[in-house]
Amino acid sequence: MGVISRLTDNVLVGKINDLVSWGRKYSLWPSPFATACCGIEYMSTMASRYDLARFGAERQAFSPRQADLLIVIGTICLKTKPVILKVWEQMPEPKWCISMGACASSGGMFDVYSVVQGVDDFIPVDVFIPGCPPRPEMVLHALVMLQELIQGKEGVGHESRAWIRRQVQAAVNEELRERRLEELTRLRNPEAGE
């Protein structure tokens, strides 16, 4: 009896990324940044009737350092922008962002001088939730969409800003590396004082 034939019944072969993503998507720790009436809908989503915990986002992290999902909820004023940016920068990678409601996504009806016209001006948002305010079911749907995004399925929701950011970063790194390499390997002319 060979070893291989025994292993086929007992071993599951897969990619480690799939396993890690599977773990991550069912253990999101959302940090709600609620500033307006959408926050009330979000409270309802967290509470027993709709129960965000059913989808694995059980623990609400009110400290950004123990969170990996920032949910921006409500109108963001210009003066709130540095605060929210600080919260985002404190969150450890990997991290995701959901923009909940019309105000957070686009400024909503507050098309005025003092309100940020969408948090994706300065934070990479993964899933936008429309509505004024959105129903709790829409928040649940957004969470499921985000889970599919984390799992790596293509064509989920809109194109992820985080994904674009990583692509841009990779391209920039590549160019920087090439430039550095060129600088290091260039032959210098001692007579010109180089």
Q: Which of 86, 169, 174, 179 binds another protein (CB under 8 A)?
A: 169
Residue 130 CB partners (closer than 8 Å, separation 6+): 101, 102, 105, 138
Task: Determine the Cα–Cα distance for residues 65 and 131; give it in Å rounded to an integer.
Answer: 29
Task: Determine the Cα–Cα distance for residues 20 and 1; give it in Å rounded to an integer.
Answer: 34
178 near another protein, rule: CB under 8 A? no
Q: Which of 11, 13, 15, 111 binds another protein (CB under 8 A)?
A: 111
138, with CB counted inside 10 A (0-12, 13-18, 19+), is: middle
Task: Determine the Cα–Cα distance for residues 40 and 74; give it in Å rounded to an integer.
Answer: 10
Interface region with another protein, contact rule CB under 8 A, candidates 7-15, 18-26, 58-66, 107-115: 107-115
CB of 83 to another protein, least distance (A): 12
CB of 150 to another protein, least distance (A): 19
Q: Which of 109, 168, 170, 181 binds another protein (CB under 8 A)?
A: 168
Scan residues 6-65 and list those touching another protein (CB under 8 A).
none
Nearest Cα to 136, choosing from 37, 52, 16? 52
Q: Which residues bind another protein (CB under 8 A)?
A: 78-79, 81, 85, 89, 111, 113-114, 117, 121-124, 165, 168-169, 172
